[in-house]
Each structure stands twice: as C-alpha cells, then as structure tokens.
C-alpha cells in the first residue's frame, strides 16, 4: 500500500498546496483540478456521465469531438468511476479507482516477482516498479485506465502461469473491457498452448495426443468481452464497429517505425532518440524471458512488443507500459543488485521532478466542471 499511496501523494502535494513553483518549476494554481484535468481523464468522465449516449454527450459536453471518438474509451474504467461517484464527485472517484487499481497492479507484481525472488528482493523490485518508469508514476497519479489495465494483465498472466484458468480468464476479460489491446492477452495465451504442444510433439512419438483442459476455455472470456463491448456500441452508437471509426485514437500504422516520421499526427517532432532506448530495452527484456524459457510472460511480451513497432505516437512509453512489469522481471538479477540500488536512489529526485512537471502541463482546458461532477 505504501508503494502505491506515498509516491502518488507526493506527486499531488505541490498541487494541493497550490505552490507557485518547486525547485524552479512553475506550477499552476488550480489545486487538485490540475491532476484530474490530465489527459485522458476528462474524456473517461464523459463516458462515466453519459454511458455512450450520443444525445447526452452532445447536450452536456463541449469538446470538439465526434461522439464516435468515445468508442475508443472502453467501459470498465468509467463504470467503476460511476460506482464510486455515488460517494463523491466523479473526478475524485476517478482518482480513487486509479489509485486502487495501481495498488492491485503492485500487489500482483509482487506476487509474480515472488515466484522468481525471495520476499525482500521482491519487495525491492516492487518498489522500483512503483515509480519506474516515471511515466508509470504519472499515469497512476492522475485519472487513467492504464493502472486498471496493467493490473488485470499482470493478474491474468500470474494465474495463467499457475494454471488457474478461470481467474486468468476473468482478469483477462477485465483487461479487455478496459482497453482494446487486451485482446493481445488472448493471442499470447493461444501462442503459449501452441508452443507447448509443439514442444511435446517433438519429444514424444508421432502418436502424441494433446490433452486439452476444459478449464482453459475460460480464456475465451477475453474475446467474448470484446464482442460484448462491440455489442454495447451497436446499441449506443448504432454501429458494431464504432471503435474503428473513433478517429485518430488508433495509432497503428504500416509499415512499422512510422513514429520516426516527424510530420505524422501525434508525433510532430524529430527529437525521438529515446524511442530507440524503448525498443532496445523492450526487445532485450523479451529475449531474456525467452532465454530463461519463461514462455508465458515471454509470449505476451513478444506479442505486445511487435505491436509497438507499428505505433506512431510521441508518447510511445505510455503505450509500452503493459510491457514494463515483464521487462523488470527479466532484468530482476540486475535490478536487485547493490549497484542498481545506488542508481535507484539517484533517480528518485529526477523522477519526481519530471512527474510534477509533466502533470502540470498535460492538462485539458475545462472552463466549466459542472457536467463532470
């Protein structure tokens, strides 16, 4: 709990205090409003308040966006916000859901790490994950579906590794109901079974018969939940495929590496060298997992990494966040070393400064909060 709450509270603190600046970084004077106004929180609040009703969206919200745009914002996160909005204002309910989801993500990351390391080292690895990369600390400190999505992914993989397929399917469905890339979990799980079958066929004779566990059918909850989302869109937007008409929310482009096209929408700069580090560390993590024959997280990580090379968006690190827990697991021996503990301590201040700077500027301008409350 401390790994979740303390860093987030420290990110909020200068905004709660309405500090004019922190170590020379100018800060807005809008209090916690700055935090809840961070992208894409207010857009999810629109879904929370309207449940995709086109009429309610048009009548109550002035964002210059077509109603189909909100089809890119999957329902589980706004539904949970709506649930907690019974006890507080929706923007604060959004923060409650985000922080609670981050706690679940940290809990399952610890449980996963514990399968590789002892308790003390697992705790330290979880401490690293709680703030690193800084983009993770940021998204889990504002209104964001990423913590819920990542928590569900880690839990689904944890239970799949332990052959608890029903729980894996339930958490996989939760991931799918949160964000569209959840379907990659299903692809990865099918890939794991395919690899396992081929390995067994290569070891035993040609009369080998694969014994399929009916319990594993629970992972079909993942594609079933995606179909459910599309059915909801059929009822609300009048189109089963509304997600694919949601405008520039889908940042997948062919051929790969279009992120280096500085003129592309959502790129807009040639200062992109850190993208090479994201690719390098991501692929190196995948290779380590494969080398360790840790095929379940390795398969998911490989599938997810391959999609990233088609993403054309300046904020690639945010899109890469579901890969981070498994990259950390792959580098666990280095990360729990004495040398990295020194690095970790050194990074605390830079991570904090980057986080409050980012949160202070990544805001949607909202003149009237009444429809969001």
Q: What is the CA radius of gyration of the chain?
A: 21
Question: Please, what is the angle between helix 295-308 and helix 183-203, to 10°?
Answer: 130
**How would residue 198 be classed by pLDDT, with cut points 50, 70 and 90?**
confident
**Assigned domain for 5 exists:** no
**Assigned domain for 102 exists:** yes
3-state SS string for the chain? CHHHHHHHHHHHHHHHCCCCEECCEECCCCCCHHHHCECCHHHHHHHHHHCCCHHHHHHHCCCCCCHHHHHHCCCHHHHHHHHHCCCCCHHHHHHHHHHHHHHHHHHHHHHHHHCCCCHHHHHHHHHHHHHCCHHHHHHCCCCCCHHHHHHHHHHHHHHHHCCCHHHHHHHHHHHHHHCHHHHHHHHHHHHHHHHHHHHHHHHCCCCCCCCCCHHHHHHHHHHHHHHHHHHHHHHHCCCCCHHHHCCCCCCECCCCCHHHCCCCCCCCCCCCHHHHHHHHHHHHHHHHHHHCCCHHHHHHHHHHHHHHCCECCCCHHHHHHHHHHHHHHHCHHHHCCHHHHHHHHHHHHHHHHHHHHHHHHCECCCCCCHHHC
pLDDT computed for residue 245 by the predictor: 86
pLDDT tens digit sequence for 212-249:
667 778 999 999 999 999 999 999 999 999 999 887 77
Can you read off the two tokens belonging to residue 147? 């913590």
**CA 194 to CA 79: how far, in whole Å?**
35
Residue 202 has pLDDT above 70, yes or no: no
**Assigned domain for 366 exists:** no
pLDDT computed for residue 147 by the predictor: 98
**Assigned domain for 4 exists:** no
Q: Are 25 and 356 in contact (CB under 8 A)?
A: yes
Residue 311 has pLDDT above 70, yes or no: yes
**Which residues contact residue 273 at a Cβ distance below 8 angstroms, ignoring those fewer than 6 apart?**
none
Q: Determine phi and psi for 170, rounding to 5 degrees.
A: -65, -45
**Which residues contact residue 344 at a Cβ distance below 8 angstroms, ignoring those fewer than 6 apart?**
127, 128, 132
Average pLDDT over residues 167-179: 98
pLDDT tens digit sequence for 87-109:
999 999 999 999 999 999 999 99
Give pTM, 2 decimals: 0.96
**Assigned domain for 364 exists:** no
First to last CA, the chain: 28
Handedness of CA 136, 114, 298, 162 (dihedral sign): negative
**Could you list the residue range(s) of the whole structural domain that residue 60 is in?**
27-353
pLDDT computed for residue 249 by the predictor: 77
Question: Please, what is the angle between helix 90-114 and helix 119-131, to 10°?
Answer: 140
pLDDT computed for residue 197 by the predictor: 75
pLDDT tens digit sequence for 8-32:
999 999 999 999 999 999 999 999 9
Residue 211 has pLDDT above 70, yes or no: no
Total of domains in the chain: 1
Range name among 250-254, 306-310, 328-332, 338-342 with the lowest pLDDT average? 250-254
Residue 210 has pLDDT above 60, yes or no: no
Residue with tokens 């904020």, as numbered in its chain: 315
Q: Which of 314, 319, 320, 318 is nearest to 271 (CA)?
A: 314
Peptide bond into 105 cis (omega under 30): no
**Assigned domain for 104 exists:** yes
**Which residues contact residue 202 at a Cβ distance below 8 angstroms, ignoring those fewer than 6 apart?**
none
What's the mean pLDDT when you consider all of the chain?
A: 94
pLDDT computed for residue 92 by the predictor: 97
**Assigned domain for 85 exists:** yes
**Assigned domain for 214 exists:** yes
């Amino acid at each position: 709990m401390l790994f979740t709450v303390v860093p987030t509270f420290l990110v909020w603190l200068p905004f709660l205090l309405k500090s004019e600046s922190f170590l020379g970084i100018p800060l807005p004077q809008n209090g916690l409003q700055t935090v809840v106004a961070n992208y894409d929180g207010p857009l999810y609040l629109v879904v929370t308040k309207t449940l995709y009703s086109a009429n309610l969206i048009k009548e109550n919200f002035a964002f210059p966006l077509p109603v189909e745009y909100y089809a890119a914002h999957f329902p589980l996160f706004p539904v949970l916000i709506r649930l907690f909005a019974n006890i507080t204002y929706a923007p604060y309910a959004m923060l409650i859901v985000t922080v609670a989801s981050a706690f679940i993500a940290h809990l399952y990351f610890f449980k996963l790490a514990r399968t590789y390391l002892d308790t003390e080292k697992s705790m330290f690895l979880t401490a690293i994950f709680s703030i690193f990369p800084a983009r993770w600390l940021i998204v889990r400190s504002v209104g964001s579906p990423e913590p819920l999505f990542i928590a569900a992914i880690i839990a689904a993989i944890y239970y799949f590794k332990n052959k608890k397929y029903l729980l894996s399917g339930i958490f996989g469905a939760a991931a799918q109901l949160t964000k569209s890339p959840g379907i990659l979990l299903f692809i990865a799980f099918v890939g794991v079974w395919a690899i396992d079958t081929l390995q067994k066929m290569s070891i035993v004779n040609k009369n080998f018969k694969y014994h399929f566990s009916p319990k594993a059918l629970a992972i079909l909850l993942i594609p079933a939940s995606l179909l459910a989302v599309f059915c909801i869109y059929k009822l609300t937007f009048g189109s089963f495929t509304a997600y694919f008409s949601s405008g520039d929310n889908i940042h997948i482009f062919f051929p790969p590496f279009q992120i280096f096209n500085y003129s592309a929408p959502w790129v807009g700069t040639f200062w992109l060298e850190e993208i090479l580090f994201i690719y390098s560390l991501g692929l190196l993590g995948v290779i380590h997992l494969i080398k360790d024959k840790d095929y379940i997280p390795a398969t998911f990580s490989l599938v997810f990494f391959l999609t990233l090379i088609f993403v054309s968006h300046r904020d690639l690190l945010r899109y890469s966040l579901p890969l981070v827990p498994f990259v950390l697991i792959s580098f666990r021996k280095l990360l729990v070393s004495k040398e990295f503990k020194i690095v970790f301590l050194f990074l605390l201040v830079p991570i904090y400064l980057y986080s409050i700077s980012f949160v202070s500027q990544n805001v949607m301008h909202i003149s009237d909060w009444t429809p969001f409350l």
